Chains A and B, each alone.
Chain A
Amino acid sequence: MADIQLQNLSKRWGTFVGVQTMNLHIADGEFLVLLGPSGCGKTTTMRMIAGLEDTTEGDILIGGARVNDLEPKDRDIAMVFQSYGLYPTMTVYENIRFPLKVRGIPQAEHHERVMRASATVELDDFLQRKPAALSGGQRQRVALARAIVRKPKVFLMDEPLSNLDAKLRVSTRAQIKNLHHELKTTTIYVTHDQIEAMTLADRVVVMNKGAVQQVGTPLDIYDRPANTFVAGFIGSPAMNLIEGRMTGGVFEADRVRIPGFGGIADGPVTLGFRAEDARIADTGEIAAPVYSMELLGDASMATVQAGGALVAIKAAKDFMAQIGQPIAAHVPADICHLFDAATGQRIERP
């Protein structure tokens, strides 16, 4: 059991910045999810915590002790690698058992522990196979079992579910959540999948280009994105972002006019709102011809071109409109988020 502190953590290769001055305190027992687009430095951050990558700057503290100079094996962590990292000459059973063996855990406990870990990820039928004879999803589960066979201070999981099919992903996700509830081990979990992030995380860290964009609970991040990057990254579809001008509390852009922003300074701003918060109406703040219509199953999504961007608006599933037909959407000021046009930072409303 341990908390983790990242203090001014940076990683550079030459002039290329992998991770930029990251500051983070991960509480004991917390489930933290790193979320961000490909290449944003999630794996790099994790590898630095694991000790597989030297830090360029900054300190890593696990349980209050600085671990920068410790070998990976002395940091007491378990990691699920994005590329599995299974031992090809060993059977699944031996793979899962390996951490117990090299850490000198009494032989008598091995079998029971391996069986419990393999049962958790439903691997019992494959224990005598070599990794080469497994599918991607099965390999991933072996990697997961190998990580949970021990009780380390910290779990690091790098996209552990990326290769599972939808059904197994849901059930393994539930298992991971349950396991965390049971073991209460501090966990850092990397994913691309927002639903995974939302369902698993105590807190989510959104990263972009090596820099932390926002740290917060899943709801926080969804409801109060800290900047246009987070707003445009979280949610499916992501938040609509329209660049326009604020004049006397009224936001204006091409085909858009939203009043009700008292107390906001005049000037260029970016306005954001979620497709599901807006509503189709006879008249409204946005009036534009339909650009495309998509049926989602439980609803349909109308896209219009307004304010120089494509704006999605969720509609009832029986809503029908021809492409080019003019429609209007009700977008009241209280569902809108405002961002600084230059920096992209959130503007708090009075």
Chain B
Amino acid sequence: MSTTVADRRPASLRLALGAFLVFWLILAAFPFLWTLWGSFKVEGDFFSRADWMNAVSGTLTEAETGAPFTGDGYYGAWVQEEFWRAGLNTVIVTVSVVVISLTFGTLGGYALSRSPYRYAFWLLIIALVFRAMPPITLVSGYLLPFFEWNLWGHLPTTIIVLVAINQPFTLWMLTSFFRNIPKDLDESAMVDGCSRFQAFRHVIIPVMWPGVITTGLFSFLLAYNDFAVTSMLLSRENLTMVPKIESFLGTTQTRGNVMFAVASVVSVTAPLFILVMFFQRQIVSGLTAGAVKG
């Protein structure tokens, strides 16, 4: 990276920018750090009615477990309540959703971006309309037929519904990525001896890679964070992580364990950080795409 004219800012501006960044970072990171800290305490401390400082000092945690920090929340959630089962389900659901959405998204997006016909435009508009609807409106319509056909409660059903909800978005995003890739690339590849598909695979996809990763990540987040669909369509024994957390909170009839929920919230968040850090380069170049013009 070389410094360009645009990088040379006056000191005061740099200072203000730095201060703002720090402020924003604290604002964004604090809730998570607080939860992380609290997940190693007992409920009495973290949700103390007497004094919120208890969550910091951990008075009750010391008294109950003999140490300032405890892994009880994690043990309870993962082992007692079998949170790992929900974790496994989440992996199955997210991986399937990402793979299926990306496969249809790249192929369909490529076709739409290269189509000279107007129907391509209308297909995309319809896709946008479906994407704009709250998922819950779709799900409630699914419930009855799924019960009738005995499809309710299974992972594949959820996967299909999530793909259906996510597909319009992937299609949009990937189509616009593909549109940014000049047509000459396909054309020179085809003259050089590629079939349409080979041109797509050998020439377009390598250029598209950041776009595919970025779209994949967004699809992943949709599936991973989904609550509306998974909580409605999965049986209690077969939940993914997010609805499982909710089940820890208990209902009016059953007493839940809030600390299990707190521990699993942390468990659910950690992989996201790792993922974003791992793919950050691709994501950045994906988000700034358009810079692919040879």
Contacts and interface: CB of A to CB of B under 8 A. Distances in A.
Which of A78, A79, A84, A102 has the largest number of chain B CB atoms within 10 A? A102
Contacts of A50: 191
Nearest to B208: A89
Contacts of B189: 87, 98, 102
Interface in B84-112: none
A308 interface: no
Interface string B179-201: 00010110111111111001000
A88 B294 contact: yes
Contacts of A99: 192-193
B199 to A, nearest CB: 9
Contacts of A79: 188, 191
A79 B184 CA distance: 11
B193 A85 contact: no
A51 to B, nearest CB: 8
A349 interface: no
B207 interface: yes
B182 A85 contact: yes
A86 B193 contact: no
Interface in B185-224: 185, 187-195, 198, 202-203, 206-207
B294 A73 contact: no
Contact of B184 (A72, A73, A84): A84
B17 interface: no
Contacts of B194: 73, 102
Contacts of A102: 189, 192-194, 198, 202
Contacts of B202: 98, 102
A225 B86 CA distance: 82
Contacts of A277: none
A99 B190 CA distance: 10
Count chain B CB atoms within 10 A of each CB in A84, A88, A98 and give the residue with the most: A88
Given A85-B294, A88-B294, A102-B202, A71 B187 contact: no
The secondary-structure label for the interface of chain B is helix
A47 to B, nearest CB: 8
Contact of B294 (A77, A84, A98): A84
Given A50-B191, A99-B192, A102-B194, A81 B203 contact: no
A51 B192 CA distance: 12
Nearest to A105: B193
A83 interface: yes
Interface in B149-180: none
A244 interface: no
A89 B206 contact: yes
Contacts of B203: 87
A241 B121 CA distance: 50
Given A131-B294, A139-B294, A85 B185 contact: yes
| Number of chain B interface residues as a range | 20 to 34
Nearest to B187: A52
B193 A73 contact: yes
A77 B190 CA distance: 10
A83 B181 CA distance: 13
Contact of B188 (A71, A81, A89): A81
B294 A78 contact: no
A72 B190 contact: yes
B207 A88 contact: yes
A337 interface: no
Given A81-B184, A83-B184, A84-B184, A132 B191 contact: no
Interface in A124-165: 131-132, 139, 143, 146
A146 B192 contact: yes
A111 interface: no
A83 B182 contact: yes
A77 B191 CA distance: 7
Contact of B191 (A52, A83, A139): A52
B67 interface: no
A143 B191 CA distance: 12
Contacts of B195: 71, 73
Nearest to B202: A102
A253 to B, nearest CB: 49
Given A81-B188, A88-B294, 10 more contacts: A51-B191, A52-B187, A71-B190, A73-B195, A85-B187, A86-B188, A87-B294, A90-B206, A99-B192, A102-B202
Q: Which 10 A-B pairs have the closest CB atoms?
A: A85-B188, A85-B184, A99-B192, A89-B206, A103-B193, A102-B193, A88-B294, A72-B190, A79-B191, A86-B294
16 contacts: A52-B191, A71-B190, A71-B195, A72-B187, A72-B191, A73-B192, A73-B195, A77-B191, A79-B188, A84-B294, A87-B203, A87-B294, A88-B294, A89-B207, A98-B202, A103-B193
